[in-house]
Structure 1
Amino acid sequence: MPIALFRRRGIAPRIGTMLLGTLLAMAAPAMADPGDRIDGSPVVERLDLARLPAGKTRLWVRIDDNDVGQGYFVPVVVIKGAKPGPRFLLTAGIHGDELNGIGVIQQLVEDIDPATLSGTLIAVPGLNAPGLRNSTRAFTGGHNGGGDNLNRLIPRDIHAHGDEGNAAKRYAGRLWSRIIVGNADFAIDLHTQSRGGTYPAYVFVATPAARRIADLLRPDSVYIQTGIDGAVEDMLVANDIPAVTYELGGAEVFDGAMIERGLRGIRNVMVDRGMLPGRPDLRDPAPFLGNLVTNVDSPRGGWAQVRVKLNQFVKKGDVLAVVTDPFGRPVATLTAPLDARVAGLGTDPRTQPGDMVVRLLSWDASLPCLRTGCPPAPPKRDANGK
Structure 2
Amino acid sequence: MPFEAARMTRVHPSPSSVAAAKARELRESGVKVLDLTVGEPDFDTPDNVKAAGIAAIERGDTKYTAVNGTTALRRAIIDRLRRVTGIEYTDAEISVGSGAKHVIFTALMATLSPGDEVLIPAPYWVSYPDMVVLNDGTPVIVRCPIADDFKLTPARLREGLTDRTRWLILNAPSNPTGAVYSRDELAALAAVLEEFPDVLVLTDEIYDEVFLGEGRCVGLLEVAPQLRDRVLLVNGVSKTYAMTGWRLGYCAGPKPLVSAINKLQSHMSSCPSSISQAAAAEALSGDQSFVATAAKQYRARRDLVVDRINAIDGLRALAGDGAFYVFIDCSGVIGRRTPDGTVIDGDDAFVGYLLEHARVATITGSAYGLSPFFRVSFATDEATLSAAMDAIADAVRSLTD
Q: Give TM-score scaled by structure 2 length.
A: 0.27
Q: Give TM-score scaled by structure 1 length.
A: 0.28
Would you tell me which structure has more strand in proportion to its own residues?
1
Structure possessing the higher radius of gyration over alpha carbons: 1
Q: Which structure ranks higher in relative contact order (CA pairs < 8 Å, sequence separation ≥ 6)? A: 2
